[in-house]
Each structure stands twice: as structure tokens, then as C-alpha cells.
Amino acid sequence: MALEALAAAVYTTLTGDTGAGGVATLTGGRIYESHGPQDAALPLVEFSFVAGALLDSFSGTSAVIQAELQVDSYGQLILGAEPMRTLGDAIKAKLHRASLTATGYTKFQLLMTDPGVVTREGEGMRLTQRYRYWAA
């Protein structure tokens, strides 16, 4: 089992949110695993798996992953914090307490552990959210 399948599930979930106020709608589809292009327009979302561990089972095989997913959202400073909070709420609506489908896994669930705070970063705004996830 590989993290690629979990990343694909997160990507599909966020890019598939195309309704009014959806993550893909709010970002113009600019959603990236790890890092987006340096010159990408804002807003955008980047996500990455930042910590994790395989949990041993009684059968001796490590079949369960417990780890953290970090989701960073970037926006324009001139627009202020409110659009960032709106984007963060949209991401939370798709990922918090979600059960996603990932190839090779029977279960992939996420739970928000840190809703983050909008901060200034250079000439822009940033919101970092963290999710604990379990996959088996």
C-alpha cells in the first residue's frame, strides 16, 4: 500500500468539489500535492503527508497507517483573511470526518485536528490546517 493512493483520494476529493463555494471553484482548480508552481495564481491549495507510522497488527503485518495530512491554502493579501477562512471552511467540509475511497485500502478516514489561523506570509495570506488520518 502506498501513499500515492491516499494522495490521489485527497486530490480527487478536493478537485471534485466544483459546486458553488467548492474548493476547486474557489481556487480555480489550483490544488497540488506537495508544492504548486512558484508563479501560480492565487488562491491555491497544497497538501502533503507530514508524519506517519505503520501500526503493527497481531498477525505481524503492518496494515494500518496513522498519520497527519497538512493542507496549506494561500491567498492574496489585498483581499484579507475572509476569503481564506471561506476556503478553509470549504476544505473542512470535504475532509473533516470524511471517509474517502483509496485504491488498495478498505478504509481511509480523516479528522481535523487543527483548523489553523490565517497569517500573513510575504505578500500573501496563508492558512495551514491539519488532519489526522487512518488508512487500512
Residue entry with cell 497538501: 47
- Asked if pLDDT for residue 57 goes beyond 70, the answer is no
pLDDT at 63: 56
Q: Where are the domains of the chain?
A: 3-135
pLDDT digits (tens, 9 = 90+) for 3-15: 788 999 999 999 9
Give 58: exposed, middle or buried? Use CB within 10 Å, 0-12, 13-18, 19+. Answer: exposed
3-state secondary structure 12-43: HHHHCCCCCCCHHHHHCCCEEECCCCCCCCCC
8-state DSSP, 99: B
| 68 DSSP β-pair partners | 51, 132
Q: Which CATH class is domain 3-135?
A: alpha beta
pLDDT at 83: 96
pLDDT at 118: 97
Instruction: Extract the C-alpha cell encoding 34.
Output: 506537495
Supply φ then ψ for residue 36, to 5 degrees: -85, 170
User: By the 8 A CB rule, do 67 and 76 touch?
Assistant: no
What predicted TM-score, i.e. pTM, was given to this entire model? 0.90
Question: What value does the mean pLDDT of the chain take?
Answer: 90
Q: How far is CA 8 from CA 12, 33, 51, 103, 122, in A?
A: 6, 9, 17, 9, 30
pLDDT digits (tens, 9 = 90+) for 75-124: 999 999 999 999 999 999 999 999 999 998 888 999 999 999 999 998 89
